[in-house]
Structure 1
Amino acid sequence: MGVDYYNVLKVRRDAGDEDLKKAYKRLAMKWHPDKNLVNHKEAEAKFKLVSEAYDVLSDPQRRQIYDLYGEEALKGAYDVTPPPPARSASSVGSRPDSSSFRYNSRDPDEFFADLFGDRLSRDRLFGEKRHNSGIERAEKSMEAGGSKKPPPVESKLTCSLEELYKGARKKMRISRIVPDEFGNPKTVQETLKIDILPGWKKGTKITFPEKGNQEPGAIPPDLTFVVDEKPHPVFKREGNDLLVVQTLSLLEALTGKTHSITTLDGRVIDLHGTDIVRPGSEVVIPNEGMPNSKDPTTKGDLRVSFNIKFPLRLSENQRSHLTMALEGAEC
């Protein structure tokens, strides 16, 4: 028979229209590519298959042809005549005469939009701030009358500033409880891969659908990792700008000194000090800050501020020489 559409939707073979619709909505929301940025390719394939299964089984004519002859008949492996509305004992196992009937699967995104309609538009479902968007409202709406999906389980994902600057891949080993075939709890382990993109900020959320603990007969919650930024010994982040403080002695502030700053990707930037540095002054180096997560080719600025260390005391000789050296200097 090829693909088992009933198994794809996790429904019985005698499932009615409402059962099919609930199953499709739950799985379409779970596997929509816009909700699965981490495992995008896998989600895209599963979303397409779920849409195809519902498109076939929700149409009485296509469903009867599929039940009799399987997926090949629908997709043109051979011609069939649409069967009569009711199946009789004599019709089972016999092939109808050829005709021009053909099934062409619809675009999954178009099919998804048609079913959800304007009330749950794509923008509301998959906006940039997904955790505050229409996803939660849509899931609650589609699960009304059935098992409600628990709220996501959140876990902290600590990243260094270097990882958020350059990007990285993290592997998270998780253990969760799921019911076995008899409904008894069992522990399963899984490794989740998370691709940290350059420029991600503290608070960014990465969601793995239905990876939380599952109660028998209930929908498991999503597992959400929330990015947390580890403090850095040199740099402080402010939006997409990086801030660094350079400490100078009073002599260095007055006479100048070359300072070297090692960037988060290992490059060295030299600051040639020739002018007098005043307390509170700042040097801005464009495009040396954090990458913009939406466009990693652009970056914020590197802002260097200066802390001037004044001497605690001066000897009479030092005072005399300092007075002579600075007498008449412009202020």
Structure 2
Amino acid sequence: MGLDYYLILGLTKSAIDADIKKAYRKLSLKYHPDKNQEIGAFAKFKQVAEAYDVLGDPKKKAVYDQFGEEGLKSGVPEGSGQTGAYTHGYAFHGDAHKVFKNFFGGDNPFNEFFDGVDGDLSMGFGGLLGRGNKKQDDSIERDLVLTLEEVFHGCTKKMKISRRVMNEDGHTSSERDKILTITVKKGWKEGTRITFPKEGDQGPNNIPANIVFIVRDKAHPRFKRDGNDLIFTAKVLLGKALTGCSVEIPTLDGRLLNIPINDIVSPGYQKIVPGEGMPISTEQNKKGNLIIRFEIEFPKQLTPEKKHLLKEALL
């Protein structure tokens, strides 16, 4: 047998929006875990939150009133039903504290009200009588993964978010998608934070959270990034490491660098090429360095003749 959301809130189907809000307000305060530690109280607190999440939303309530819990959670035909399309099934997100916080505008209203003789709320908090201060939700952080090419050239990224937005009645909300546009500047370092103020879920008594995107470097097949510098590892044969060579490096902007190496490449040796690294975001037209590190490839075997020649040359 399905859940009877009206029964959970102690209401009948004739209840209006004000009745639903009043019932949720009373029962959520009664069963809130900060106030009620009895066995089963928290489960009741979650049930009350789910009931309000459905009955407090006109669209969900309309589907529930017509098709019951099964129709609400399984989806029902859209429009005339001839197209074969179904609505998305409802699933409670399970966060009863989030429902409570959105309703009251804070996590714990108990320090700002007192109960009357009959246990009804006598002094308001937040959305009850407007006496409490609205509290902003914690920032929501998301990674913005960028390739080195995207950071090298700069680019525009469009990020899709889903959030709850207040309806015109000022009491209910619905989930909607929004596209946030990020203009990536040349040379942005990993860890750069881009903040979109108050783009989180809206509620009648809360300040929406800021959404913060944090730049993360995507692994690159040729380069590693170290601040403004690019690191390239070149593989060279032992003979060339001792006698000199040149290293070809395809750059991030499509050029091919040919870097002569005239020094002896010993362990730990590196070649620095100025101005061939990443753009410096704070200094226009300036770039970091390209650092070439070396991986020396030793021969797997030598003929007696080659060993003799090496001894004569090196010893």
TM-score using structure 2 length: 0.55
Cα pair distance change 1:253/1:327, threshold 3 Å: closer
Who is 2:136 aligned against? 149
Who is 1:315 aligned against? 303
CA contact (8 A) 1:159 1:230 kept: yes
How far off its partner does 1:216 sit?
2.4
Unaligned runs of at least 5 residues, structure 2: 1-130
* Aligned pairs for 1:39-58 within 5 A: none
Distance of 1:309 and 1:222 partners within structure 2: 52
Runs of 4+ in 1 over 6 A off after TM superposition: none
Cα pair distance change 1:327/1:151, threshold 3 Å: closer
Cα pair distance change 1:327/1:229, threshold 3 Å: closer
Who is 2:156 aligned against? 169
CA contact (8 A) 1:280 1:307 kept: no
Who is 1:35 aligned against? none
Who is 2:120 aligned against? none
CA contact (8 A) 1:198 1:296 kept: no
Distance of 1:153 and 1:314 partners within structure 2: 61
Distance of 2:261 and 2:181 partners within structure 1: 46
Q: Give yes or no for the alignment of 1:181 onto 2:153.
A: no
CA contact (8 A) 1:199 1:296 kept: no
Distance of 1:239 and 1:165 partners within structure 2: 12
How far off its partner does 1:327 sit?
5.1
1:215-257 deviation digits (Å, cap 9, x = unpaired): 2222111111111111112111112111111111112212322
* Aligned pairs for 1:116-131 within 5 A: none
Distance of 2:314 and 2:223 partners within structure 1: 38
Who is 1:127 aligned against? none
Who is 1:6 aligned against? none
Distance of 2:183 and 2:308 partners within structure 1: 63
TM-score using structure 1 length: 0.52
How far off its partner does 1:212 sit?
0.6
Coordinate RMSD, CA, aligned: 1.9
What SS is found at the alignment partner of 2:206?
coil
1:96-136 deviation digits (Å, cap 9, x = unpaired): xxxxxxxxxxxxxxxxxxxxxxxxxxxxxxxxxxxxxxxxx
Deviates more, 1:275-284 or 1:297-306: 275-284
1:121-160 deviation digits (Å, cap 9, x = unpaired): xxxxxxxxxxxxxxxxxxxxxxx95101112111111111
How far off its partner does 1:274 sit?
3.7
Deviates more, 1:213-222 or 1:162-171: 213-222
Deviates more, 1:207-216 or 1:196-205: 207-216
- Return the letter of the residue paired with 1:244: F
Distance of 1:209 and 1:189 partners within structure 2: 16
Unaligned runs of at least 5 residues, structure 1: 1-143
- Return the letter of the residue paired with 1:217: N
Report the structure, 1 or 2, having the larger helix content: 1
| Alignment coverage as a number of residue pairs | 184
Q: Give yes or no for the alignment of 1:224 onto 2:196.
A: no
